[in-house]
Amino acid sequence: MTPTIDAHVRLDTHPTHPSAVTAVLTGAQAHIAHLGLEAADWTVVADNVLALVRIDHEEPHWAQDAAQRLSAEGITVEITPRLREAMAEEWTWANYPMPWCTRSEIREVSNQAQKIHDDIRHGHLLIHAHAHDGHTTVAVGTYLHRNGKSVYLHGEDHLRQIADTFDSPAGAMVAFEKIHGAEMRPGPAPLTDTERAAAEARTPLACTTAKPEPARPEPETVPAYLADAGDHDAILDTFLDAHGDWEKWRTWTDDTTHAIHESQTLRIERVHEADPRETAWTVAAYESPVSDRMWHLTLTGATPAAVLKALLNGLAEEDAWETAIGSPATEKTVTAATRPLADAGWKHTADGRWMRWETRKSDVGVQFDAFAAQNPHSILATWTLWAGPSIEHPTWTITASSYTPAALLAGLAENLAHGTGMRTHTPVKVKSTVHVTTTPTALPPTATTAQPSRSR
C-alpha cells in the first residue's frame, strides 16, 4: 500500500506564459514534492511555487506525467479544469518538416531537442561556435559529461538535433569550420523568440499590491446587435461539443483554431487574440474538398454573442449553407435574405450600386453592393452587416461574398430584427484583489540580440 505523504500539489496554467504550468506546494512534507519536481527540471519561481517551462510547448503533457508520478508516491495532486482541458487538447505543428511522424514520435523528437536546450542552459553542453547554413542555425559544442563527446547540432528550438559526434573538441571544430567557415561565429547563437519567452516564464512570480477592481457587472436584456461579445472561444467549444460532424484543431502557437465539417466543404477559422474591430472569424464553403472557395463571410472580434450563435446555428443546418453552383446574388435572393428586415419595418434606401436597410435610429444596418455581387472575384464585400454609430465607424461588422446562401443571411437578418442578448453595466462599487505578475530578472548574455520569429 502506497504511504500517504503530507503534501499537496496544485497544478495550473502559468499566469503569463501560454503553455507553461505552475505547481503550488503545501503541506508539512511539501519538500518531498519539491525535490521530485526540481529533478524533473521544474524551476522555482516563488516560495513553494515551481514552473514547468519548455521550448516544445508540451508542458501540459509532461505536467500530467509529473502528476501521475507524484500520485504514485502518495502525494495529493490537484489539477485545475483549465489545465485538464489543455492536457486533453489535440494540436499539431504547422508545416512540420517531418510529416511522417506520429504525434508520439513528434513528441519524442521535441523532447530530445528539449534535453539539448536544457543541457546548454545548465552549462552541461558548452557551445564553441555557431553559424546559419541558409536554412537554420547549426552549432558545435562539447559535453562536460557523457565522456566529453563533442557534437554537431542542427536546427532550432523543438527541431534541434545532434547530427554528428566527434571524439574531441579539436576534431569537431575543424570539421565545423571546413563546412561553415565563412558564416561561423564564436559562442552560442542568440536566443530564439521561443527561448526568450521560456526564459521570461522562469523569472520569479510575485504578488502585487492589492488593486481595486470593478464589482461583478449586472446584466440586462437588449437587442442582439447591442449585446456583449461574450466569450467567443466558449461559444465555439459549445457549438463543436453539440455537433459531432465538426472536428477542430489548434495551431501550436495557440492563437488560431480551425473547425472543419465532416464533408470537408465548410470550414471555420477562429483567431483568438484579434482586435475587437478586426477579423476574428472566417467561414468558407467549397464545392468539394479540393475546389476553389465558393463563398465566405467574416466577423470582427466585437460581434455580439447572440449574433455569433445565430450564425453557428445556421451553419448547423446544412440546407442553410449548401448552395447551387454558379448562383450569385439576384433580386430574388436579395429579397429572401432581407425579408425579416422588411417585415420588421426597417428603412430601405437605394443609392447607386448600394442598397441599405437600417433601423429608425440608424444604429444597425445591412448593406448590399450590387457591383460586388456581379464581380465574385472582387475583394469588395457584397453584404455588410454592422452596428454602431455608422457603417463607416462600426462597433462590429460581418461581411459576406456574393454566393453566400440567402437562407444563412436571412437567419442573421432575423436575429438582428428580433433577437435579444445580454449586456452588462458596471456599478460604482469596487473591491480589492491580488494579481500575480512577473518580476524581471537579467537574461543570459546571449539574449541581448533576438532572432526574428521563424514559421513552423
The span from the CA of 367 to the CA of 357, in Å, is: 6
pTM: 0.49
Q: Please report where in the chains the cell 476574428 appears, as a residue.
A: 280
Per-residue pLDDT tens digits for 233-256: 999 999 999 999 998 887 656 688
pLDDT value, residue 2: 54
Q: Phi/psi at 132 (nearest 5 deg)?
A: -115, 120
Judged against a pLDDT cut of 80, whether residue 125 lies above it is answered with: yes
Mean pLDDT throughout 3-25?
Answer: 90
Give me the percent of the chain exceeding a pLDDT of 90: 59
Burial of 220 (0-12, 13-18, 19+ CB in 10 A): exposed
Are the C-beta atoms of 283 and 266 separated by less than 8 Å?
A: yes
Per-residue pLDDT tens digits for 401-439: 999 999 999 999 999 999 999 988 544 333 333 333 333
Per-residue pLDDT tens digits for 19-30: 899 999 999 999
Residue 175 vs residue 437, higher pLDDT: 175
